Amino acid sequence: MGLDNHTVVIYGWKVEGRDKVSEFEEKLENANEDWWDEFIDEYFIVDSMMGNYTYFGAILVDYDAEWDDDAEVVIDDDLIKKCTAKYNKFIKDNPEISKVLDEYKEDEPQLYVFQHIW
């Protein structure tokens, strides 16, 4: 079994630390028991191997760094508007999840760029 290696760009927040991530994900589970199946890779990027982090927000880019033919994405105003509109609709349509996310938002959202390997 090989590793998946994705390049991710997300405008949002990061929950860090195994205990804090565990607590966060448990609260999400209580808010919507299907959150993992419905929303992972759409609004959440999780460290499924170690549980050290979970990112949430508007995912602007998520591509397989090894296998995707289009391993280049232009981040322009249209992409940002499209992705943030999708995230904002998700928040509006899921008020219980939104309450949990509000508890874990520290400061303003950040633009994160990272390799997500699992």
Dump strand ranges (E) for the chain: 5-16, 44-46, 53-64, 110-117
- pLDDT per residue, tens digit, the chain (118 aa), is 566 778 899 999 999 999 999 999 999 999 999 999 999 989 999 998 888 999 999 999 998 867 766 667 899 999 999 999 999 999 999 999 999 999 999 899 999 999 887 6
**pLDDT at residue 71, as a whole number:** 66
Output 45-48 pairs: Cβ under 8 A, ≥24 positions apart: 45/8, 45/10, 45/116, 46/21, 47/21, 47/118, 48/118
* Per-residue pLDDT at 9: 96
